[in-house]
Structure 1
């Protein structure tokens, strides 16, 4: 954690917005962060809530390093913040470390994809079966 710095986000603070530069990432210590997708003409749609121990942000790892979602603190949040360029440089310098980080982020992505799939089925499966 020597590369981390502690940060605080007040309730309702924007952490990042879709389409902006992904130059940091966070691990939540306390509080809740919501990931969301912008919806034209409406409030952003929440897609995931993250809590203590969870990774906020993965777009920092993959070019073009631009956020694919937005994030907002739903409660006061304490987190460890990491500089993405520094971590990528450390990953390049130490292949074992780089592999470990890559596998960790891959597991996070796989889990979130599965959770999204489950939510979509819960939302749309009843509607689809009632129209058949």
Structure 2
């Protein structure tokens, strides 16, 4: 279990408070959860299935950056103004998830500093991991081509 899964990232008390606000949702394989550039007003924790995060690349199909599974956070853009998705997301298999309303959770964070710090630390770890995964994936895609064009 990585430090970015819900179970590893938040204490039991904070997990319980957060999941009290969740609603259960499901997505069919191939369903788009969100698109890069759209308003980020919710987020999900995967219960079953796999969600791919992708990045738009001009002139190409979106590039899959990372695949997320059980216990992982889908979406972090809801936590940072201006609340626009930085990536896209698609269900790669049937997915069951907990869905959270971003405004509700941000309000909870504002009212309880300890809870807010825990959520901010968790989301910050996720952002760091996603940035690293994006960098590696883009290097995989473009580094060999870039080095050949310089020779």
Aligned to 1:90: 108
Aligned to 1:19: 37
Match of 2:100, SS state, is strand
Counterparts in 2 of 1:53 and 1:68: CA distance versus 1, 3 Å: same
Q: TM-score, normalised by structure 1?
A: 0.89
Higher mean alpha-carbon deviation, 64-73 vs 43-52, is at 43-52
Aligned to 1:66: 84
- The structure where helix makes up a greater share of residues is 2
**Matched ranges for 1:102-113 at <5 A:** 102-113=120-131
Gapped regions of structure 2 (runs ≥ 5): 1-18
**C-alpha RMSD of matched pairs (Å):** 1.9
- Structure 2: distance between partners of 1:119 and 1:11: 23
Q: TM-score, normalised by structure 2?
A: 0.79
User: Which of 50, 53, 57 does residue 39 from structure 1 map onto?
Assistant: 57
1:119 is displaced (CA, Å) by: 3.1
Counterparts in 2 of 1:58 and 1:30: CA distance versus 1, 3 Å: same
1:131 is displaced (CA, Å) by: 5.8
**Number of residue pairs the alignment of both structures matches:** 132
Gapped regions of structure 1 (runs ≥ 5): none
Match of 2:137, SS state, is helix
1:110 is displaced (CA, Å) by: 1.2
- Structure 2: distance between partners of 1:125 and 1:71: 24
